Amino acid sequence: MKVCVYTLGCRLNQCESEAIADSFSRNGHEVVDARRGADLYIVNTCTVTAKAEQKARRMIRLFSTEGQAVVVTGCYAQMAQAELEELGENIVVVPLVKKAGLLGLCAHIDETTNAGMDLLDAVRSFAEPETSVFDYAASSFSYHSRAYLKVQDGCDNECGYCRVHIARGPSTSLGRDEVVARALQLEEEGFNEIVLTGVNLTMYDHEGEGLGGMMLALIPRLKDTTRLRLSSMEPDHIDERLIEACSSHKVHPHFHIPLQSASDKVLERSSRKYSASHLEWVIEQLRKVKDDPFIACDVIAGLPAEGEEEFRQTYDFLKDTGFAALHVFPFSPRPDTALYKARDKVSERVRDERAASLRQLSESLHSAYVARQIGRRQEVLLETRRGGLWHGTSGNYLKLAVSGAPAFSSRGQIVSGIITAKDMLSVC
Ligand code: SF4
């Protein structure tokens, strides 16, 4: 059977999708991408923006005409089950609480179709057991050379623009010993890079020790050559222990901070629990423990309460701090959120102009960052081989071609070398 797992949204969704795809490929099914046509489609949706929802509906409709069955899960599916089921007759929505049960879908399909049931009936008859959000095996993934380890789910914050905490529920964390055991298992399976993921990763907690405490326990247990990457760091829980953990050579110099705005007024209006001065502290500390790390951020243009002055504060902060990349999102009012009916909304024209100028800023910040990496040593995880060269991602998140990689190099291996051009690393 051909299976396509189509993913929208955050790294956590990617991580979950990979585990699901893996369960099919391990059982002899062919995991294909969306262009190649599949019998079974699994769509992992996102509710962060109206655009992500629109795209999900479009793809689900398309898959519904191409495949025999479409399974839809993820945050958007959680919020709009009936609406999505109406998009086609062969669509089956699996709510979030039962999403981990999808790891058993493959076995269920094999058993029931071998007994003569057709694929759609097999999917429909799949009675997902109640599962924990951490029921994902720490095993090899079918898409990537790195492993994603989900250690946290849900969020206790109620940011004014966000529906994710509504869909995912309160914060919950995988126990520290279990994190260590899963990470060691991934090492055993040959992964050299592990990405720690969560809905709000810095809200991770085990007995009051936080993400920093867990990482400080994990890092000494890992091989000297294993590397950790953090998927995303909400600023409010970044503390000294986490910074200390990040100082380890086993943590890649790549950080992603969803800061959204650098204006105290806008942050407060959006119920974000930190200030611009905390952001300054975070960036300063990360730069103290890592040599010119790649620090990217999410920023929302046109949040309520963002007047010209507030926008200028954010713009100047991003420019002066020298981020390596900005992920810019125009504010999109989401139903069920506190800011949905805000009266101090910014007009769409102004919001889009601001988004455009932030995107321009991002381009120049990124070019400046890449230019100053030339001549520096970096590690690169080998991902694909094209045109006689390996290509991969560096510790500081640059996509590079690799020249001089040792013979018999393999996918997932880490090599070290000097960056000789904006897109090239020479192994030495
Ligand atoms: S921190 Fe805020 S934006 Fe992030 S998931 Fe939680 S509520 Fe949503």
Mean pLDDT of all residues belonging to the chain: 91
Judge if 85 and 155 occupy the same domain. no
pLDDT at 107: 85
Ligand 1 centroid–CA 174 distance in Å is: 19
CATH number at residue 361: 3.80.30.20
Q: What confidence tens digit (pLDDT) does each residue in 136-150 have?
A: 654 445 456 788 898
Which residue has the least CA distance to atom 1 on ligand 1? 157
Judge if 164 and 239 occupy the same domain. yes
Residue 142 included in any domain: no
Closest ligand 1 atom number to CA of residue 260: 3
Q: What confidence tens digit (pLDDT) does each residue in 53-99 have?
A: 999 999 999 999 999 999 999 999 988 988 999 999 999 998 777 77
pLDDT at 249: 97
Band of residue 408 on the pLDDT scale cut at 50, 70, 90: confident
Q: What share of the chain is helix, strand, coil (3-state, %, to 5)?
A: 40, 20, 35
Residues 381/192, Cβ–Cβ less than 8 Å: yes
Judge if 62 and 158 occupy the same domain. no
pLDDT at 271: 97
CA 182, 188, 193 angle in degrees (round to 5)?
75
Judge if 67 and 163 occupy the same domain. no
User: Does residue 32 register a pLDDT over 60?
Assistant: yes
Band of residue 376 on the pLDDT scale cut at 50, 70, 90: very high
Helices (H), 26-144: 50-66, 75-79, 81-85, 105-114, 119-124
Range of the domain at 116: 2-124
Ligand 1 centroid–CA 426 distance in Å is: 40
Q: Which of 103-112, 178-187, 332-341 has the lowest mean pLDDT?
A: 103-112
* Domains in the chain, number: 3
Residue 136 included in any domain: no
- Label residues 13-28 b or e (16+ Cβ within 10 Å = b): bbbbbbbbbbbbbeee
Q: Which of 7-16, 71-80, 305-314 has the lowest mean pLDDT?
A: 7-16
User: Does residue 127 register a pLDDT over 60?
Assistant: no
* Phi/psi of residue 300, nearest 5 degrees: -105, 125
Does the beta carbon of 200 lie inside 6 Å of ligand 1?
A: yes
User: Does residue 218 register a pLDDT over 50?
Assistant: yes
Q: Determine the straight-line distance between the first and last CA of the chain, rounded to whole angstroms.
A: 44
Residue 130 included in any domain: no
pLDDT at 139: 47
Beta-carbon contacts of residue 401 (< 8 Å; ≥ 6 apart): 389, 390, 391, 423, 424, 425
Whole-number Å distance between alpha carbons of 268 and 91: 41
Instruction: Name the residue of 11, 162, 201 to mutate for ligand 1: max ligand atoms within 8 A of Cβ.
Output: 162
Residue 56 included in any domain: yes
CA 213, 214, 217 angle in degrees (round to 5)?
90
Number of C-beta neighbours around residue 61 at 10 A: 14
Closest ligand 1 atom number to CA of residue 155: 6
Residues 264/235, Cβ–Cβ less than 8 Å: no
